[in-house]
A and B are shown apart, each in its own frame.
Chain A
């Protein structure tokens, strides 16, 4: 943000420096804090370990005031909107792509007409999963899946790929029961009580699970493992090793010789890998990259880490769209220079931003692994 927008005061002033004034008088809250993307670069860089991103997020929750509260709530309430939208998906998708709808959303609601709206699936992932649930019980080892709102309402294909991959590795999948959207958008838009309610539900379900709870989204993982505690004051110390990104879990199994992967000899792809900001904060990009490097036919360029600029709901908002694209342009330049067939990244909103701006298809590493996998051979290798 600092490179793109001189109005943002920067992490030191927005965070700890501003806090000592805000404590004295809430009038010192600077509305420029709305420009903080929660990219967490400040926390990655700080040698003293100060959680600047959390200081800013808490200030926004406590003192922030948006001109578009209704819009922000709708954009953040993914379970509510996703539930309705999937029921009428073909109509919704068509409407959201029409110029006239976009203009109306832009002028009355504040959602940028330039932004490409995500598509909704006709059948939720959870509904699809019912078809394969019985088959899962045929396995002797299991993992739990926190699919999150994106897989459920927008892109069940990723969830299906995850199940395919786990099954080929010899593991059955259970969907984590009673899961809600992790709440990352609710937190970022200042809706702390709704986010806390979702956090409590998710944590209770995670605690009930007897297997590792795996995720395919970097932001869901960061939110559950860190922000539930540092922003919503929930205790997450007992779930730290249980909740893992699927790429971490898979890498660890392979390194210990517990799981083996076999790849198709005819798989060839030229790809560029983008590290999402939240994944960089978790340090977990090394797992995605290591797994992708195992694929013989994959020509992989790891891009220099740059923020894509969307920051979840931020980039959809009319007042932010231009800044969002300006920030992302540094990443787009690097993508064009790499000239890949596809971009690979673990974050769904990065995927929307990059597909919208560059017109290049974007896939989660899990989906690429499945595309490259010799499923039959892998299944044989992992049979018990």
Chain B
């Protein structure tokens, strides 16, 4: 918590060897398995610019609408398309990068594609 991954060391392009963070300097964090669960936009699990939505740590494949004008709809309280953008996985839950399965990286939580539309859900409860 309160730390940020600054570098990923890859063994091949389909296996994560180690992570380096801001707080831990040159100490490599190594493991047999890694689980990516960094959430969506608010927690910076996903980031966006004017052209694309991307996953900033590993560069995992993200499913998003390529036409920028279709990311949002005018009605603020309606289901927003961008809320269902997220990371794609294999059937077993492995992350994908450039279409290839990352053998030791699993993905879970809000960062996954097909997420719920929080504003719509919460506002339905209130209204």
Q: Check A6 for interface membership: any CB of B closer than 8 A.
A: no
Q: Check A244 for interface membership: any CB of B closer than 8 A.
A: yes
A283 to B3, CA, bound (A): 7
Output the residue of A241, A244, A252, A283 with the most chain B CB within 10 A: A283
Contact of B2 among A241, A251, A281, A286 (CB under 8 A): A281
Residue interface bits B7-41, CB-to-A below 8 A is 1, else 0? 00000000000000101111100000000000000
Contact of B42 among A47, A241, A280 (CB under 8 A): A47
A244 to B26, CA, bound (A): 11
Q: A241-B26, A244-B25, A248-B25 are in contact. Are A47 and B3 (CB under 8 A)?
A: no
Minimum CB–CB distance from B74 to chain A (whole Å) comes to 27
Look across to chain A and name the residue whose beta carbon is closest to the beta carbon of B39: A47
Say whether A252 contacts B27, CB under 8 Å. Answer: yes
Q: Which residues of A contact B6 (CB under 8 A)?
A: none
Interface residue count on the A side (C-beta < 8 Å): 20
Minimum CB–CB distance from B72 to chain A (whole Å) comes to 21
Q: Check A43 for interface membership: any CB of B closer than 8 A.
A: yes
Look across to chain B and name the residue whose beta carbon is closest to the beta carbon of A47: B43
Say whether B23 contacts A284, CB under 8 Å. Answer: yes
Say whether A283 contacts B26, CB under 8 Å. Answer: no
Say whether B25 contacts A241, CB under 8 Å. Answer: yes
Q: Which residues of A contact B23 (CB under 8 A)?
A: 282-284
Say whether A252 contacts B26, CB under 8 Å. Answer: yes
Q: Check A45 for interface membership: any CB of B closer than 8 A.
A: yes
A44 to B22, CA, bound (A): 13
Minimum CB–CB distance from B20 to chain A (whole Å) comes to 12
A347 to B80, CA, bound (A): 49
Say whether B2 contacts A45, CB under 8 Å. Answer: yes
Minimum CB–CB distance from A299 to chain B (whole Å) comes to 26
Look across to chain B and name the residue whose beta carbon is closest to the beta carbon of A41: B2
Say whether B43 contacts A283, CB under 8 Å. Answer: no
Say whether A44 contacts B27, CB under 8 Å. Answer: no
Q: Check B47 for interface membership: any CB of A closer than 8 A.
A: no
Look across to chain A and name the residue whose beta carbon is closest to the beta carbon of B23: A283
Q: A43-B2, A44-B2, A45-B1 are in contact. Are A283 and B24 (CB under 8 A)?
A: yes
Chain B contact-residue range equals 10 to 19
Look across to chain A and name the residue whose beta carbon is closest to the beta carbon of B22: A283
A275 to B44, CA, bound (A): 27
For residues 242 through 261 of chain A, which have their beta carbon under 8 Å from a beta carbon of chain B? 244, 248, 251-252, 255
A49 to B3, CA, bound (A): 9
Q: Which residues of B contact A240 (CB under 8 A)?
A: 25
Look across to chain A and name the residue whose beta carbon is closest to the beta carbon of B38: A47
A40 to B2, CA, bound (A): 10
Residue interface bits A164-191, CB-to-B below 8 A is 1, else 0? 0000000000000000000000000000
Minimum CB–CB distance from A222 to chain B (whole Å) comes to 11
Residue interface bits A276-302, CB-to-B below 8 A is 1, else 0? 000011111011000000000000000
Q: Which residues of B contact A49 (CB under 8 A)?
A: 4
Q: Which residues of A contact B42 (CB under 8 A)?
A: 47
A67 to B21, CA, bound (A): 43
Residue interface bits B49-63, CB-to-A below 8 A is 1, else 0? 000000000000000
A52 to B23, CA, bound (A): 18
Contact of A248 among B4, B27, B44 (CB under 8 A): B27
Look across to chain A and name the residue whose beta carbon is closest to the beta carbon of B27: A252
Minimum CB–CB distance from B46 to chain A (whole Å) comes to 12
Say whether A251 contacts B25, CB under 8 Å. Answer: no
A43 to B2, CA, bound (A): 7
Look across to chain A and name the residue whose beta carbon is closest to the beta carbon of B1: A44
10 pairs from A and B in contact (CB 8 Å cutoff): A45-B2, A47-B42, A47-B43, A240-B25, A241-B26, A248-B25, A248-B27, A251-B27, A281-B2, A287-B27
A→B interface (CB under 8 Å):
40, 43-45, 47, 49, 240-241, 244, 248, 251-252, 255, 280-284, 286-287
A280-B2, A284-B24, A287-B27 known; 10 new pairs, CB 8 Å cut-off, are A43-B2, A44-B2, A47-B43, A49-B4, A244-B25, A248-B24, A251-B27, A252-B26, A252-B27, A283-B2
What 10 A-B pairs are tightest by C-beta distance, nearest first?
A: A44-B2, A283-B23, A47-B43, A283-B3, A44-B1, A252-B27, A241-B25, A282-B23, A283-B24, A47-B42
